[in-house]
Structure 1
Amino acid sequence: MVAALELYLDTDATRRIRALWNALEAEGIPTLAGLHGGRHRPHVSLAAAPRLAPDAVAEALRDLDVGRGLTLDLDFAGQFVGRVLWLGVTPTADLLAHHRSVHERLATRGVEVWEHYRPERWVPHCTVSLRVPNTQLAQAIRRCLEILPVRATVTGAAVTDHANDIAHPLGL
């Protein structure tokens, strides 16, 4: 199980990333489009853990407009170990400060997250696929590069756990 605090992107950026997902799926490369009954939407996760209690996260972030005013520039493609393909977000001072603020509030409330999502370790990204076949990796990266760059405005945020059908919107 994976729960996350997700930032959602404006209509144009979402459309472009969904078009990428669809193109990859048509080529036999699985993407987030096909996971958990299609409940995923293009996003950037600020935090992730095996479980996140939506009410605890909402309370910790109660006075913070999560994501408000952030513009994200997706400028490159990357891969994590395990065949995870993603679009990289340029880590601006505003984004990193916002991320730190979110994590300080979560820590104060005892909300635990995975180490690699904490400040100083986090790699801001928008996941494309969790399991690109090795033989199709170069093809998948080429497809990603075809849509870049993408400039996105954050339009919403939620605590999600798609495997358990949880999507708890946070006020923006």
Structure 2
Amino acid sequence: MALALCLLLDPVSDRLVRTLWRRLETEGIPTLLTHTHGQHVPHLSYAVLLAWEQGAVRSAVDGLCDAGPVEVAVQGTVVFPRGRAALAGSTTAALATRQARAVEALRATGATIHRHYEPGHWMPHVSATTGVAGARLPSVVEAVSDRLPFTLRCDRAALIDTADGTMWDLPGVP
């Protein structure tokens, strides 16, 4: 699987995303609530690592500067390959800089970064669905649009093992 460096949402934002997930699930649209191990939390990934050395990565992220909470404006839905849809977040210069700094620290450990998380290619997003047929995408877009616009507040960060949901909280928010 993979290891992800994620920003986690404050309680209000977390509840908003989970409410969306529950609505989609009641319509038969799969979300992270029921995906794989079922331990997923609403998050915004800075980086996804395909290969890494655990100790080096943990040291690198512990050494990242705490830049404090960050807010991400959500204005719409983005669709990725294989029927994945997400809340499309804004990319401010400050957020892009924070993400790039985190990726460079991870790369310095020898970790392999997934190409979609390379600085300049990264798009901030929070997953809405994990795989939905194209014909069902209008339902996802409608469920998201019913709540737009809104702002998500990320106030914590963690490394998350996507294989089993194991989470290691970070001391700050990179």
SS at match of 1:104: helix
Unaligned runs of 5+ in 1: none
Show the counterpart of 2:64. Answer: 64
Q: Give the Cα–Cα distance (whole angstroms) in 2 for the partners of residues 54 and 42 of structure 1.
A: 23
Q: Give the Cα–Cα distance (whole angstroms) in 2 for the partners of residues 22 and 54 of structure 1.
A: 33
Show the counterpart of 1:128. Answer: 128
The aligned length equals 172
Q: Give the Cα–Cα distance (whole angstroms) in 2 for the partners of residues 67 and 36 of structure 1.
A: 32
User: Any conservation in 1 of the 2:50–2:112 contact (CA below 8 Å)?
Assistant: no
- Mean CA deviation greater in 28-37 or 94-103: 28-37
Unaligned runs of 5+ in 2: none
Show the counterpart of 2:32. Answer: 32
Show the counterpart of 2:141. Answer: 141
User: Any conservation in 2 of the 1:66–1:157 contact (CA below 8 Å)?
Assistant: no
Q: Give the Cα–Cα distance (whole angstroms) in 2 for the partners of residues 154 and 52 of structure 1.
A: 25
More helix by share: 1
Once the two structures are superposed, residues 58-108 of structure 1 have per-residue CA deviations (whole angstroms, 9 ceiling, x without a partner) of 211223245623111122111011111000110001100101111121122
Q: Work out the percentage of aligned pairs sharing the same amino acid.
A: 30
Distance 1:151 1:43, change over 3 A: same
SS at match of 1:33: coil
Once the two structures are superposed, residues 23-73 of structure 1 have per-residue CA deviations (whole angstroms, 9 ceiling, x without a partner) of 000000000111234311111000013344443222112232456231111
Residue type matched to 2:25 in 1?
E
Q: Does 1:151 align with 2:151?
A: yes
Offset of residue 164 of structure 1: 3.1
Show the counterpart of 1:76. Answer: 76
